[in-house]
Amino acid sequence: MNPFLHRLLSVSAGVYRRALGVPSVAGLLTETKEPNSGAPTIPDVETTMETHAAWASLETRSSIGIAMWRLTIESGIPAIGASIVVEGIDGHGVVKFSTVIRRNPKDKSLYIESCKHSGAFSLAKSSGAYLVSNTINLPQWTKFTSAFKADWSTDKAPTAARAVADIVDMLGRLSSEIPRTQSKARVLGGSYSVGLIAAAMLAQPLV
């Protein structure tokens, strides 16, 4: 394997778990140690993690400086469910774009955190209404997500990549209805089609 590609695909579990707010293995071992026991108890949690990468197009490289996209998918995390980390990396191996997408397995709500373009978006349904909050600069953020969608638009793309592409595309279509400074959840207004888009976002499986 190309050494550069190998280095980019080598995901640091510690960095990834910190991004998701998930304790490290060492932290779990410390927190689950039983009183009067000489050995820690390892939680009975089965998670799966996989990584995919794709070279960016020449247009993406020239417009936003991304040379490669990387997807890290982890499923089976208690209280979080499936999570996807999307990263855009330049030709020197520096992460220029990083976003975490996850879904609450209980109420199916959607949460997106932009790590490089600081902000977060959430969407949930309650009592028949769609509740939304957002602090992401969507016009700036969608420059990267649109390039991601274009570069992964292939039948051979993994399911998670197609799911992310669909979600960010729908969020871009909702951007005119979502103010950037809305940190508290409010009812999503707009036309009937806005409700259809919100419903589709919540129904979109991540993995």
Instruction: Tell me what the pLDDT averaged over the chain comes to.
Output: 75
Q: Which residues contact 39 (CB under 8 A, 6 or more apart)?
A: none
The pLDDT of 151-172, averaged and rounded, is 81
Backbone φ, ψ for residue 107 (5° rounding):
-105, 5
- The pLDDT value recorded for residue 31 is 40
The pLDDT of 16-30, averaged and rounded, is 41
* Higher per-residue pLDDT: 81 or 168: 168
CA atoms within 13 A on the CB side of 185: 12
* Higher per-residue pLDDT: 27 or 170: 170
The pLDDT of 97-104, averaged and rounded, is 89
CB contact burial 93-132 (16+ within 10 A = b; e otherwise): eeeebbbbbbbeeeeebbbbbbbeeebbbbbbbeeeebbb
DSSP string, the chain: --HHHHHHH---HHHHHHHHTPPPHHHHHHHTPPTT-SSPPPP----EEEEEEEEPPHHHHHHH---EEEEEEEEEETTTEEEEEEEEE-TTS-EEEEEEEEE-TTT--EEEEETTTTEEEEEEEETTEEEEEE-S-HHHHHHHHHHHHHHT-STTS-HHHHHHHHHHHHHHHHGGGS-TTEEEEEE--S-HHHHHHHHHHHH----
How many residues would you count in the chain? 207
Query: Would you say residue 171 has pLDDT above 60?
Result: yes
Query: Would you say residue 3 has pLDDT above 60?
Result: no
- Per-domain boundaries in the chain: 48-203
The pLDDT of 20-31, averaged and rounded, is 40
- The pLDDT value recorded for residue 60 is 94
**How many angstroms separate the CA atoms of 189 and 194, rounded?**
8
- The pLDDT value recorded for residue 82 is 76
Q: Which residues contact 128 (CB under 8 A, 6 or more apart)?
A: none
Model confidence band, residue 182 (pLDDT cutoffs 50, 70, 90) = low
Model confidence band, residue 18 (pLDDT cutoffs 50, 70, 90) = very low
